[in-house]
């Protein structure tokens, strides 16, 4: 689970990692109040789970109430790389002398934790990794040993962190490691970690990915969950017990079984299309589950065609077909549906669909044929 910046900062606070005081706002009025509470100058920051918010206009420094109002009006509702801003984080602005980078993540190949530190923070770290790889210092950490303060200090020195910031950075590294390990994160990243003219080191941004497999021992994560999903659709899918992951494309995908869903994504790509989601109905999916899946996908504006790919095993195709007929009597689909049914009771299933004579429903016999047909529909829409 990816956390928003403000949630990441809340998480940091549990491990004593210094951040600026601030608060969240969901409206212009709240934003003005939070800016006043934080004290001017303040920073108004878009809460979206995507980097480069600054460049996209999602971060503004404000000096008074009027500017706070204008910034909030501008940023709320702003679309940053497909993420619409619904919430702001507002904190007291920091004076920046230097911007650094610090992170812990899991190096799966090495089977060790990996610390990364750079004196070149604030900018896109992936870019630094390409243009100036030497500027990022790495240290592998055995989880049994952990990282000591002295090791952290050495790492900071080798990364070229300024003398006056060394102790502060080492201190943050040790705490960030605790946050990452005890906090069961897959990633804990601070970019920028700043040095102020007063000589203080603190986190100006927070990127935390929690390890979902550890959720059972963190009941407190529930508080993050309600709001941390990209959109209401993922929450809706979760309520309906569907295995759903939102993507960026235009072909809505429904399949039974994770493997078939993955293959469907591949086949759509292969014929020049892009998937809007991954959706696995699970085994033995009946009519109610199919209705739920169509309902979820129907709320996605990016979807231009739905591709239903069912291989009947435990799941019987006639059940699936009934589900589609049922669903279409209650849900008005925004886009056409291409259906491929194969396996158990496929003939019965196809007959049910044919008899129902549903508008906007196209039946294909093969997976590749269905994918091609779906992509054609998207292309026809684009050329109109
Ligand atoms: P990101 O672009 O989405 O990673 O957002 P960040 O939170 O990292 O902020 C981007 C940049 O905005 C930082 O590198 C800073 O240069 C600037 N910024 C953010 N907060 C402050 C602040 O309190 N004071 C000043 N002067 N600049 C800030
Ligand atoms: Mn950042």
- 46 CA distance to ligand 1 centroid (A)? 11
Q: What is the third-level CATH fold of 21-92?
A: Dna Ligase; domain 1 (3.30.1490)
The stretch 269-277 carries a mean pLDDT of 97
The verdict on the CB of residue 203 being under 6 Å from ligand 1 is no
Indicate if the pLDDT at residue 228 is higher than 70.
no
Best mutation site among 2, 60, 192 for ligand 1, i.e. most ligand atoms within 8 A of its Cβ? 192
Instruction: Kindly give the residue spans of alpha helices, DSSP state H, lying in 50-165.
Output: 65-75, 125-131, 149-158
Indicate if the pLDDT at residue 331 is higher than 90.
no
Which range scores top for mean pLDDT: 52-56, 164-168, 298-302?
Answer: 164-168
Span of 167-176, 222-231, 320-329 with lowest mean pLDDT: 222-231
Query: Is the pTM above the cut of 0.95?
Result: no
The stretch 7-14 carries a mean pLDDT of 96
Indicate if the pLDDT at residue 229 is higher than 80.
no
The stretch 4-26 carries a mean pLDDT of 96
Contact 121, 192 (CB under 8 A): yes
- Give the confidence band of 269 by pLDDT, cuts at 50, 70, 90: very high
- Give the confidence band of 356 by pLDDT, cuts at 50, 70, 90: very high
R_g of the chain, CA atoms, integer Å: 25
- Give the confidence band of 233 by pLDDT, cuts at 50, 70, 90: confident
Position 347 scores a pLDDT of 94
Domain map (residue ranges) of the chain: 21-92, 98-221, 232-383
The verdict on the CB of residue 53 being under 6 Å from ligand 1 is yes
The stretch 75-84 carries a mean pLDDT of 90
In this structure, the residue with its CA closest to atom 14 of ligand 1 is 122
For domain 98-221, is the CATH number 3.50.50.60? no
Helix-, strand-, coil-residue percentages of the chain, each rounded to 5: 40, 25, 30
The verdict on the CB of residue 289 being under 6 Å from ligand 1 is no
Q: What is the third-level CATH fold of 232-383?
A: Rossmann fold (3.40.50)
Indicate if the pLDDT at residue 128 is higher than 80.
yes
Contact 42, 91 (CB under 8 A): yes
Give the CA angle between residues 256, 258, 261 to the nearest 5°.
Answer: 65
**83 closest CA partner among 46, 54, 55:** 46
């Amino acid at each position: 689970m990816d956390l928003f910046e403000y949630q990441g900062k809340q998480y940091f606070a549990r491990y004593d990692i210094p951040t600026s005081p601030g608060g969240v706002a969901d409206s212009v009025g709240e934003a003005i109040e939070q800016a006043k509470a934080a004290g001017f100058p303040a920073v108004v920051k878009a809460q979206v789970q995507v980097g480069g918010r600054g460049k996209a206009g999602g971060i503004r420094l404000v000096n008074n109430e009027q500017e706070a109002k204008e910034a909030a009006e501008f940023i709320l509702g702003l679309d940053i790389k497909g993420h619409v801003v619904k919430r702001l984080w507002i904190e007291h602005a920091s004076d920046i002398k230097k911007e650094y980078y610090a992170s812990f993540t899991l190096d799966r190949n090495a089977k060790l934790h990996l610390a990364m530190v750079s004196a070149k923070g604030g900018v896109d770290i992936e870019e630094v990794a390409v243009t100036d790889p030497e500027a990022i210092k790495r240290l592998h950490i055995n989880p049994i040993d952990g990282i000591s303060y002295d090791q952290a200090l050495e790492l900071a020195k080798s990364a070229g962190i300024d003398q006056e910031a060394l102790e502060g950075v080492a201190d943050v590294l040790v705490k960030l490691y605790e946050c990452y390990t005890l906090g069961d994160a897959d990633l804990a990243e601070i970019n920028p970690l700043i040095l102020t003219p007063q000589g203080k080191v603190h986190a100006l941004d927070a990127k935390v990915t929690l390890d979902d497999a550890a959720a059972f021992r963190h009941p407190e994560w529930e508080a993050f969950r309600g709001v941390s999903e990209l959109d209401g659709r993922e929450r809706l899918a979760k309520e309906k017990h569907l295995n759903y992951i939102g993507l960026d494309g235009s072909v809505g995908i429904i399949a039974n079984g994770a493997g078939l869903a993955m293959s469907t994504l591949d086949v759509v790509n292969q014929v020049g299309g892009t998937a809007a989601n991954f959706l696995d109905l699970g085994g033995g999916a009946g009519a109610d589950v199919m209705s739920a899946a169509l309902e979820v996908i129907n709320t996605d504006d990016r979807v231009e065609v739905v591709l239903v790919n069912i291989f009947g095993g435990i799941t019987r195709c006639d059940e699936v077909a009934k589900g589609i007929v049922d669903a279409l009597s209650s849900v008005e689909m925004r886009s056409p549906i291409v259906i491929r049914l194969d396996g158990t009771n496929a003939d019965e299933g196809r007959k049910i669909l044919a008899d129902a004579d549903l508008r906007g429903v196209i039946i294909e016999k093969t997976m590749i044929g269905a994918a091609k047909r779906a992509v054609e529909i998207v292309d026809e829409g684009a050329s109109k």
